[in-house]
Chain A
Amino acid sequence: QQQVKQSPQSLIVQKGGIPIINCAYENTAFDYFPWYQQFPGKGPALLIAIRPDVSEKKEGRFTISFNKSAKQFSLHIMDSQPGDSATYFCAGTGGSNYKLTFGKGTLLTVNP
């Protein structure tokens, strides 16, 4: 059972474009939703995260929008750069063991 559904699987944008990656979750016990960025051959690194008591969080060029009633959240990357080309994972977690449940990932390519 996939508890976090992520789309699209891949995304190609031009430099300066605004890629949007969407996620939907099923587990209402989740109370923390991080996004991770992964470059080839490396481990994921935390990019930005949100809790369900806020509808939007912005850090630099990265923004998370959160819709609690729809159980959906999305990542927007403003003024995208070729260096943003990577795989992005959304995740959810809740409870004392803080296990992360990941989406399947989105491969983003930003063309120069």
Chain B
Amino acid sequence: DGGITQSPKYLFRKEGQNVTLSCEQNLNHDAMYWYRQDPGQGLRLIYYSQIVNDFQKGDIAEGYSVSREKKESFPLTVTSAQKNPTAFYLCASRLDGAHGYTFGSGTRLTVV
């Protein structure tokens, strides 16, 4: 079955560490997105990529980095510069048009 796989489901990070969240899709979608979800805050866009080897900052990119070396993969690194990284992170991909979004099941990151 086609879909988006995010891993791990739960991740714990010590303060000062960088961590990388994985997002893989086998839908052959060109565009991929990372959103952050906080309670009562909705989803906010971190980074997005519309094509391999190209990506753009979203509304809250500070403290995050991404790469898009393969069409299927769009990993997100949460760096030590992100002061409040505890959140639920959602990856999405899109085939064509605004109606073609598919979301992954998310990674819950907790700083300990």
**At the interface, is chain B mostly helix, strand, loop or mixed?**
strand
Q: A32-B99, A46-B101, A98-B98 are in contact. Are A89 and B42 (CB under 8 A)?
A: yes
- Interface size in chain B (residues, C-beta < 8 A): 26
- Interface size in chain A (residues, C-beta < 8 A): 22
Scoring A6, A9, A93, A98 by chain B CB atoms within 10 A of each residue's CB, the highest score goes to A98
Name the A residues within 8 Å of B99 (CB-CB): 32, 34, 46, 49
Q: A34-B98, A34-B99, A42-B106 are in contact. Are A103 and B42 (CB under 8 A)?
A: yes
In the bound complex, CA of A102 to CA of B106 (Å): 17
Q: Report the minimum CB–CB distance from B61 to chain A (whole Å).
A: 13
Name the A residues within 8 Å of B21 (CB-CB): none
Q: Report the minimum CB–CB distance from A100 to chain B (whole Å).
A: 7
Task: Check: A60 CB closer than 8 A to any chain B CB.
Answer: no
Binds A, one of B12-20, B43-51, B69-77, B78-86: B43-51
Q: A32-B98, A34-B99, A43-B90 are in contact. Are A89 and B43 (CB under 8 A)?
A: yes
A104 and B41 form a contact (CB under 8 A): yes
Given contacts A42-B105, A44-B90, A102-B42, 12 further A-B contacts (CB under 8 A): A6-B42, A9-B40, A32-B98, A43-B90, A43-B92, A44-B43, A45-B103, A46-B101, A89-B42, A98-B31, A100-B101, A105-B40
